[in-house]
Amino acid sequence: SFISHLTYFLFFTVTTLSPEIGTVMYPDHKQITVADLPGLIEGAHANKGRGHKFLKHVERTKQLLFVIDVSGFQLSSHTPFRTAFETIMLLVKELELYKEELQTKSALLAVNKMDLPNAKENFEKLMEQLQKPQNYLHLLPQKMIPEVTVKFGEIIPISAHTGEGSEQLITCLRKIIDQEAEEKIESYQREQLRALHLSKI
């Protein structure tokens, strides 16, 4: 899929049948491993819809990319419609209920289907909700509200249909991953200097 060619690690809010692994190749030959996951449904933490099978992939990744529909999502005619904001809160809650430390992983948000009518207005509303979630969380059912709301490193509007935002997303993923690599190197160097200093005392 369009998204699977872009992502380092993907939370999908539509249902594919099984995880797909791939690679993103950059012009300088840097490669990023991709895991394109089926969508997490409500109750995934309790293994509903093979939730544990998919959540185990999340534990092994360094970077999360949430992909949600700007106009909201409904799994089936038997399940409630969820707005984009509700969908994000549900995904975060499923992570929290499965394993709290997953909430500390670095995360990005891609808002898909920006080619649809009213997408711009829906995106602006979502941005307002994410900037001040405390003003909207009380409107949600208690079971949907996570203890800690995710602060996304970047929020990128995209369209899988037209390709809008694809280059920005690719660039953003690379930038964040490079930053994390640099931070690890700096941390290692600090530890080495500290060890050297202690050995001289």
Residue 68 lies in a domain: yes
The per-residue pLDDT for 76 is 72
Instruction: Round to whole Å and give the CA distance between 2 and 160.
Output: 6
* 99 located within any domain: yes
Query: Could you tell me if residue 147 is inside a domain?
Result: yes
Instruction: Read off the amino acid at residue 53.
Output: K
pTM of the complete model: 0.77
Residue 1 lies in a domain: no
91: domain CATH number is 3.40.50.300
Range of the domain at 185: 21-199
**Averages of pLDDT over each 10 residues, the chain, 201 residues:** 43 52 82 70 46 61 85 82 91 81 81 95 97 93 86 91 87 85 88 83 66
Cβ contact 89:144 at 8 Å = yes
pLDDT value of residue 75: 74
How many domains are there within the chain? 1
Q: Give the separation between CA 122 and CA 83, rounded to whole angstroms.
A: 9
Is 52 part of a structural domain of the chain? Answer: yes
Q: Which amino acid is at 30?
A: K
CA dist., res. 105 & res. 18, Å (int): 23
Whole-number pLDDT of residue 125: 97
Residue 77 within any structural domain of the chain = yes
Rounded CA-CA distance 9/62 in Å is 8
